[in-house]
Amino acid sequence: MSILNLFIIVPLLTVGGILLTKDLRQSRLVSAVGMGFQMILSFVLVYLYLHERAAGNTATMLFTYDALWFPTLNIHYALGVDGISVAMIALTGIVVFAGIFASWKMTYLPREFFISLIILASGVFGFFISVDLFTMFLFYELAVIPMYLLIGIWGSGPKEYSAMKLTLMLMAGSAMLMVGILGIYFFSSPDHSHLTFNLMEISKIKIPIEMQRFLFPFTFIGFGILGALFPFHTWSPDGHASAPTAVSMLHAGVLMKLGGYGAFRVAIFLMPEAAHEQAWIFLILTSISVVYGAFSAVVQNDLKYINAYSSVSHCGLVLFAVLMMNQTAMNGAIVQMISHGLMTALFFALIGMIYGRTHTRIIQEMGGLMKVIPFLGVVYVIAGLASLGLPGFSGFVAEMIIFVGAFQHVDVFHRVITILAASSIVITAVYILRVVGLLLMGPIKNDHFLHLDDAKWYERISTVTLVLAITAIGVAPFWLTNMINYSLAPIVEKLSAIQITSLF
């Protein structure tokens, strides 16, 4: 029995525990205990992973667990993690834990809220620990569907519209993914005798190039929709703006990472030839995401929309880096996923807390909040600085590595597109500083704001956890990058073994 099974069992037990509770007090306590345990578990996993590696275990996937599920189709319940998934699991653990504390005052149908939230979380955990495409797909959909209820029931604004739009667009993404996965499955064995869904086994063979050309766009766009790939990103701003705080945190922080993670773990890793051929199309699309997302954030006035568009920009950068397909850039992509996950979760948590006090999210209506709620104000500035890539925070590490990696390509196309994408750093600074200026500095515009309370203890737990994680990565990125690099090596090796026949 592998430790990884616990990542499914603990959420299930927590859900069972919440079912037994009666009111908000009890259900949030059970959720906090369960997800706190889950977070500690993910730290233990990081420790165990590093320990195994130090002991000289060179297997690609560690802690594997494999149970035959549907023998006829050779579907397994197969688990395993490498450095990348361990890092993603740690991220998920932190964000979910912070999310529970951010919803401490969820008075409307609290039990249902926490149950949906934890089902969502278990889908994400399941996705990151799966090495079987079928279970991976199952967990992917499991993570998407609770979003409908979470946004629809507990959301704000045009919540029904946003919830439906988000669900349908993501399900359309999973429709494309379904085609991709089935195609990969039926070509997972050269002589069609031992078809398999197992990622590691499929990666050992070469899928026929004609099939790759057909399947790669399906798989990449399928995951790309969740990773806010232009022009399929439109669910993201509406969805994030309407979602309750914890859901925005989880969704932007973790769920969108499923897209980036899947894009390189499934699409690029299994179909490297087609990836090389078609990368230029998607590079153009992702750099549009990066720049367009940033520009959109500049002109928005609603805090949540600003952050949602900023997420489009940052997640675009993840896909951008993944498509560069070299060790440095891909390493940056994963650091960026983790960094953005923490940052954006912090942002959404703060926005939720500020909105809970001022009852508005329009930045022009606020001002001078630093004077009345200094704790939240300072944390907001920290999140902002991390987001615009100030050295010492995780954002700098990630963007630095990505652009260094991207610039390693010597041809004109990659250089130009890298410079274009890098311009987003400046635009990011514009919208972050604009918000900080309007929101926190200047005179207090509303007398009502004079009597606001600063962060409560549970809000402090939520934010401090995230700030600590961001700073930890910013100050000491090496343990993370080392862990990722080790596991990226076989992937990059596979990618670089290919004769590049790209258009550029």
Partner 1 sequence: MNFSDILTMRHELMLTLLALVVLIIDLNLHNRDKHYIIPITLSLFFIHTVVGFLPAEKSVLFGGMYQTKPLLVMMKNILNVGVLIILLQSVTWLKKEENREKISEYFILLFSTLIGMYFMISSGDFLMFYLGLELATIPIAALAAYTHHNTKSAEAGIKLLLTSALSSGILLFGISLIYGSTGSIYFDTVTNLYQNSPMQVLAFIFFFSGMAFKLSLVPFHLWTADVYEGAPINVTSYLSVISKGAAAFILIIVMFTVFNKIAPIYNHILYLIAVLTMTIGNLFALRQKNMKRFLAFSSIAQAGFILLGILGGNVLGMTSVIYFVLVYIFSNLGAFGVVSAISTVTGKESMDDYDGLYATNPKLSLLMMLALFSLAGIPPVAGFFGKFFLFASAASAGYYWLVFIAVLNATISLYYYLLVVKAMFINKNETPLAYFKSDLATRTGLVLAGLGIFILGFWSQIYEVINNLSFGLIH
145 binds partner 1 (CB under 8 A): yes
Interaction mask 198-237, partner 1, x per CB under 8 A: ----------------x---x-------------------
Min dist CB 142 to partner 1, Å, is 5
Query: Positive or negative CA dihedral for 95, 98, 100, 105?
Result: negative
Residue 297 DSSP class: H
DSSP string, 41-102: HHHHHHHHHHHHHHTT---SSEEEEEEEEEGGGTEEEEEEE-HHHHHHHHHHHHHHHHHHHH
CB atoms within 10 A of CB 478: 9
SS3 state at 335: helix
Min dist CB 73 to partner 1, Å, is 7
CA distances to 225, 286, 292, 310, 415 from 420, in Å: 22, 11, 11, 16, 9
Taking CB under 8 A as the binding criterion, the range among 177-185, 293-301, 341-349, 475-483 that sits at the site for partner 1 is 177-185
Nearer to partner 1 (CB atom), residue 77 or residue 348: 77
Nearer to partner 1 (CB atom), residue 138 or residue 430: 138
- Rounded Cα–Cα distance for residues 457 and 307 (Å): 25
Among 3, 13, 48, 142, the residue binding partner 1 under the rule CB under 8 A is 142
Residue 378 has, within 13 A of its CA and on its CB side, a CA count of 7
183 binds partner 1 (CB under 8 A): yes
- Rounded Cα–Cα distance for residues 462 and 293 (Å): 27
Encoded amino acid at 148, one letter: Y
Nearer to partner 1 (CB atom), residue 138 or residue 452: 138
Min dist CB 16 to partner 1, Å, is 14
# residues near partner 1 by CB under 8 A: 34
CB atoms within 10 A of CB 307: 27
Taking CB under 8 A as the binding criterion, the range among 42-50, 161-169, 275-283, 451-459 that sits at the site for partner 1 is 161-169
Among 128, 185, 223, 449, the residue binding partner 1 under the rule CB under 8 A is 185
Nearer to partner 1 (CB atom), residue 184 or residue 401: 184
13 binds partner 1 (CB under 8 A): no
Phi first, then psi, for residue 452 (nearest 5°) are -75, 145
Interaction mask 19-38, partner 1, x per CB under 8 A: --------------------
Min dist CB 437 to partner 1, Å, is 38
Encoded amino acid at 8, one letter: I
Are 65 and 1 within 8 A, CB to CB? yes
Query: Which tokens hold the place of 355?
Result: 């909105």
Residue 234 DSSP class: T
- Rounded Cα–Cα distance for residues 462 and 457 (Å): 9
Among 47, 186, 479, 504, the residue binding partner 1 under the rule CB under 8 A is 186
Min dist CB 132 to partner 1, Å, is 13
Residue 408 DSSP class: T
174 binds partner 1 (CB under 8 A): yes
Are 256 and 315 within 8 A, CB to CB? yes
Taking CB under 8 A as the binding criterion, the range among 176-184, 301-309, 396-404, 436-444 that sits at the site for partner 1 is 176-184
Q: How far is CA 429 from the centre of its chain?
A: 22
Nearer to partner 1 (CB atom), residue 178 or residue 284: 178
DSSP bridge pairs for 62: 81
Min dist CB 168 to partner 1, Å, is 6
Min dist CB 429 to partner 1, Å, is 39
Instruction: Tell which positions 85-124 bind partner 1, by CB under 8 A.
Output: none
Instruction: Tell which positions 276-315 bind partner 1, by CB under 8 A.
Output: none
Taking CB under 8 A as the binding criterion, the range among 141-149, 233-241, 276-284, 447-455 that sits at the site for partner 1 is 141-149
- Rounded Cα–Cα distance for residues 147 and 133 (Å): 22
454 binds partner 1 (CB under 8 A): no
- Rounded Cα–Cα distance for residues 287 and 290 (Å): 5
Least Cα distance to 81 among 40, 131, 42, 137 occurs for 131
Nearer to partner 1 (CB atom), residue 23 or residue 453: 23
Instruction: Tell which positions 53-72 bind partner 1, by CB under 8 A.
Output: 69-72
Nearer to partner 1 (CB atom), residue 113 or residue 282: 113
Nearer to partner 1 (CB atom), residue 120 or residue 427: 120
Among 179, 400, 452, 498, the residue binding partner 1 under the rule CB under 8 A is 179
Least Cα distance to 252 among 134, 116, 151 occurs for 151
Among 13, 48, 61, 164, the residue binding partner 1 under the rule CB under 8 A is 164
Query: Which tokens hold the place of 331?
Result: 């390493």
The residues of the shown chain that bind partner 1, judged by CB under 8 A, are 69-73, 75, 134, 138-139, 141-142, 145, 148-149, 152-153, 159-160, 164, 167-168, 171-172, 174-176, 178-179, 182-183, 185-186, 214, 218
